[in-house]
Structure 1
Amino acid sequence: MYSIGDLEAFTAVARFHGVSQAARALNIAPATVSHRISKLEHALRITLFYRTSRALTLTDEGRIFYERVEAILADLRQAEQEAGSGTTQLRGHLRVTMSPWILSRFIMPKLATLRQAHPDLTLEFLAVDRMVALAEEGQDCAIRVGQLADSALRAQKLCDNDRLICASPDFLNRHGVPKTFEHLADAPWVSLPWQQRIDVTDAGGRKRTIRLARNVEVSSSSALTDGAANGLGLAIKSRLAIKRELDEGVLVEVLPGRLHSPEAPVWFVYPAEVRTGRKLELFRNVSVEAFSAV
């Protein structure tokens, strides 16, 4: 059978990709680390690492085992700390990815209270608009927008949302208000790199695909909002991302109901193979609260 020390040696080697580095981190001899890894592999009857002269990298079985063991050890350390200090405050590190507008408009306003309750819990946010592969990029969980296709993730819907076409009043005054899908095809657009075409529904209820005249291309959703608000073109945005601009009249919706399949729910997701720990549960609750008033 294996021990907690064997598991700690395994996770250290997985993090540092080598026995010597893991040994220094654990303050034990490299031979001890190697022995513990061999003992663990023998007990599990699987190969945990691919071994080369330069590094050790996890096998597929080793990666699955690592993701589960890391969460278990984190919970164990948390339990030891709570038992010794009599506190329920969480410690450790949590890595989360989401779009920048979700972080700034929904999550950031909730973080001061979270930090006061758990000052020893550190948070790391990867705020990007692209779809992040959680396991490959070391993220514990994510908030995503749109239809989910990855069956390897567990998901909880935070709220409903949809995408829409929008523009500034100044742009519409200068270019006219589009009334047909042909007008959309002829109009200038502000767009993200992957927004090359859109599907719309014409007056007869038929699906039509329009190639966008991308006069201005930007790399972030925040810049997309700014470009549309400054009258540079039409844009496709999540309604929740520009709710403030819509309420204030900075942006207005164009051709409501004409986008084909506009549904874009907001989800809290995490890898299915990862055991849910208290840190992840805490942040899921924060996320639920952040979107509760939507």
Structure 2
Amino acid sequence: MHLPTEEHIKIERTQRIKAKAEALGFISCGIAKADFLEEEAPRLESWLKNNYQGEMNYMANHFDMRLDPRLLVEGAKSVISLAYNYYQDLNRNLDSYKVAMYAQGEDYHFVVKEKVRELLDFIQDEIGEVVGRAFTDSAPIMEHAWATKAGIGWVGKNSLTLSKQKGSFFFLAELILDLDLMYDNPMETDHCGKCTKCIDACPTEAILPNLVVNGSKCISYFTIELKDQIPSEMKGKFDDWIFGCDICQEVCPWNRFSLPTKQERFIGHESINQFSKNDWEEITEDVFREIFKKSPVKRTKYVGLLRNIDFVKQN
């Protein structure tokens, strides 16, 4: 009787993990070796030196940790990258204010992280003592770089991970494990080519050449992250977006392949997209709390949403 080799064990474990990820609703699952992100280091340093993070000061924290997953999980050997679809075919009132698609329903930090933790529990139950941590946009980890290394997609000009089959309307999550697995081939080809639709469409000119986005000029930054007043030079440039922005994704040719999510918790109140501008302008704090009680929109708070509505209304 031949005992399975170490290679066969890794293959079998990898196949079981990927099958479980699919069963949990993830549309992609790729695995990369946990190592230092050598190519990303100078890019991150340059991005921070240019102050493209604006008031997102947390982006400058834990520089080394962002580049090396072994500082997040001792003895880390594998980074599992996961993608979870949130695309919806929204029936929007075309003459109203707009909320980004990702924020229509329940906060993805809770929905997706539950799924990632389920996957970690499965691994620990099935394989044994595996040390690991689950992440969903909640720690210093460069998720787009890892998604590329794991073969999920490539980083587009708008800095988002793109897939030829699935577009870009998906959340990314990671599992860092001290477990040897089979690694996927990295996505080395940029399938954006000469297309500049996202660059041309961005009304605040936040998308720069060479796969760089000036985060401090992004509509999402102004409507979510910025706590002060929105700069007057941005007047007339928000295209009715009051929380987040999907412009660079809406114009991306690869998103013609996006399919509606099967996750009902991401489907928000229909009223969000049927509100008139007047409905938004007269929204009360009680209505805000009811509609957005589990939504990412809570981040901007009631007064922040009113600030955004007022800024867009004036222009």
Structure with greater strand share of residues: 1
| TM-score > 0.5, shorter chain as reference | no
TM-score norm. by structure 1 comes to 0.28
TM-score norm. by structure 2 comes to 0.27
Q: Which has the higher contact order (CA 8 A, sep 6+)?
A: 2
Larger radius of gyration: 1
